[in-house]
Structure 1
């Protein structure tokens, strides 16, 4: 199906509907990426670059500050919810409407309608966010073209229901392992039960008190939890191995290395094997651009519980927040939708911040 060119003259809600009608499941973003690139290249005040299905557009006005507005183009698989549908209550339904084509529509509207912002702008549209991290288009840009992402502040327009969420938690997963001696369960005294040896691991988790950390006026609550237990061979065998997978969600004042050192301390005496990790992101709300942004969009600022791509900006030394019109609780659902009023308000607030 051939889709019409993106019409950046329509408001962000109507543009969201047009974006939803471009299917762009992860790995199939090319058609939408082509349309976004064509629309941006038609704007004379922008310089446009492309890497795969990621597009970066920049103003170059010599402003004192540069801000990144970023969003991903891909969606999870469609669940009979394309094309888009607008109901009588002002809700726009469709795959990606909340996560996060409404945020992308706001980016495109700002790109088209604010040719002389009070800060230089970098617009980033990237691919493969909804799949394995090694495929992530923003990760690829960080590795291949970090200079394209250089800025003083960044806003990731992931859905936050119109509230500013600062930074994000880091995450670390480890396997805490025990070993025993295999035997027939009818003669259990001849073996050593590795599952039984895991009991102290669970006891330490049950008695653990997570930190609560204040950063830039935001309180991040940590968590250390067992998320999987593996052990056993058969119903008549004493197991000789057991592993408890533990997930540590840590405040962004810790590095991955510090988080791992803490987990090793908690489980001293056990073998701790790291399996994956991602650093958190400091909110950077003390930066003048961040303070102005919070003042412009209003409302209470909250910490981001969970990991988002703001961490990729933080790794480059760019403080970043999450802010978008979508509702994260509707992401990936068959009933995904976004409030039209929320999309229009996000567009209005960003324009006000960038033209004041």
Structure 2
């Protein structure tokens, strides 16, 4: 398979969509992208790392911008190959990964091949296994094995954002709250202590919880504390002696993971329960006051982008923020359409993002 990095990024997006690349099965697309970068770009060092490909320039510029995107998709739902349709008078590309995030990848690859004299040095990272458990994430592997490749002054992830800058991201953690009781036969329920009934105070505190709204660099992050699972019960004739609630906290990036955990602990203080954090990832501050980020903001404002807003979900910008590198999400496509059977992107958004980033990289 071959792709033309100098083709219109709309055409390049369609070509990438037509190469199946479900998580853990990215070898074919990585082979194709690696070969294209080696044959169709100049001034780039190109390195294959597992099923990720990295490329960077060393022109001695004063700053370095990282363009990062994942090449994997969720399982195909009879939506490969892609197809073009006209929707409300707009050309639209349908297909698995068209939104999340092969359109963003196409823009980055196209710019690497066609921007001859960027004002900054560039690092391009196309990685694998973003759509599955974090332990498999290719960017995490690169961070462990080749951390110097993640150094820069700004990281732009091509996550779908509708041509808005979605700055930073919220953190996320999950805790399991477990209550204990006494098992008994339901015919003699008074001899037991029903653990499921004891979940009531936990659920009441969740119902009464009022989330914070936090303004950071003009981006408003709204927190959320939600029950996402309940576990309990032994049999249809047994009073259960244990029950638990799984709680998810989405927190603004001004809290550390430890501070967020302590906040959740305080929400349920005074209740007789066991508290266990089952997983968690820190958020990422917007970093929009950094010079490289300010230049991107100016370019978006002056060239028809959507503007700036907070990123509510968690993305890999967090990995860069943890290294002290400002990071933003900026790509074509509506994130609400990611992973859907009718995933699709208006092709005009691909053009808009490409034009804005071209102007940013050349200061045109």
Q: TM-score range by the shorter chain?
A: over 0.9
State which of 322, 335, 340 in structure 2 corresponds to 1:333.
Answer: 340
CA-CA distance at 1:92 after TM superposition: 1.1
Per the alignment, residue 128 of structure 2 pairs with 127
Matched, 1:279 2:276: no
Per the alignment, residue 153 of structure 1 pairs with 154
Per the alignment, residue 96 of structure 2 pairs with 95
CA-CA distance at 1:142 after TM superposition: 1.0
Q: Any gaps of 5 or more consecutive residues in structure 2?
A: none
Greater mean alpha carbon deviation, residues 281-290 or residues 80-89: 80-89
Matched, 1:16 2:13: yes
Query: RMSD of the alignment, in Å?
Result: 1.0
Q: Is the 8 A contact 1:178 1:243 kept in 2?
A: yes
Q: Is the 8 A contact 2:300 2:307 kept in 1?
A: no
1:24-63 pair list within 5 angstroms: 24-42=21-39, 43-63=41-61
Q: Is the 8 A contact 1:205 1:224 kept in 2?
A: yes
**Secondary structure of 2:55's partner?**
strand
CA-CA distance at 1:233 after TM superposition: 1.2
Alignment partners' CA distance in 2, 1:207 and 1:90: 46
**Secondary structure of 2:78's partner?**
coil
Deviations 1:64-104 (A, max 9, x none): 11111110011111111111211244111111111111100
CA-CA distance at 1:109 after TM superposition: 0.7
Q: Is the 8 A contact 2:42 2:113 kept in 1?
A: no
Matched, 1:308 2:315: yes
Per the alignment, residue 229 of structure 1 pairs with 230
Alignment partners' CA distance in 1, 2:149 and 2:91: 37
Per the alignment, residue 293 of structure 1 pairs with 296
1:183-194 pair list within 5 angstroms: 183-194=184-195
**Secondary structure of 1:142's partner?**
helix
Deviations 1:171-209 (A, max 9, x none): 010011100000011111111111121111111111111
Alignment partners' CA distance in 2, 1:108 and 1:325: 14
Runs of 4+ residues deviating >4 angstroms: none
Matched, 1:257 2:258: yes
1:159-174 pair list within 5 angstroms: 159-174=160-175
**Secondary structure of 2:14's partner?**
helix
Alignment partners' CA distance in 1, 2:354 and 2:253: 29
State which of 304, 309, 331 in structure 2 corresponds to 1:324.
Answer: 331
1:2-13 pair list within 5 angstroms: 3=1, 5-13=2-10
Q: Is the 8 A contact 2:73 2:97 kept in 1?
A: yes
Alignment partners' CA distance in 2, 1:217 and 1:337: 30
Per the alignment, residue 117 of structure 2 pairs with 116
Alignment partners' CA distance in 1, 2:283 and 2:75: 28
CA-CA distance at 1:44 after TM superposition: 2.4
With normalisation by structure 2, the TM-score equals 0.95
Q: Is the 8 A contact 1:195 1:239 kept in 2?
A: yes
Greater mean alpha carbon deviation, residues 87-96 or residues 175-184: 87-96
With normalisation by structure 1, the TM-score equals 0.97
**Secondary structure of 2:28's partner?**
helix
CA-CA distance at 1:300 after TM superposition: 2.4
**Secondary structure of 1:321's partner?**
strand
CA-CA distance at 1:51 after TM superposition: 1.0
Alignment partners' CA distance in 2, 1:93 and 1:192: 55
Per the alignment, residue 74 of structure 1 pairs with 72
| Residue correspondences, number | 353
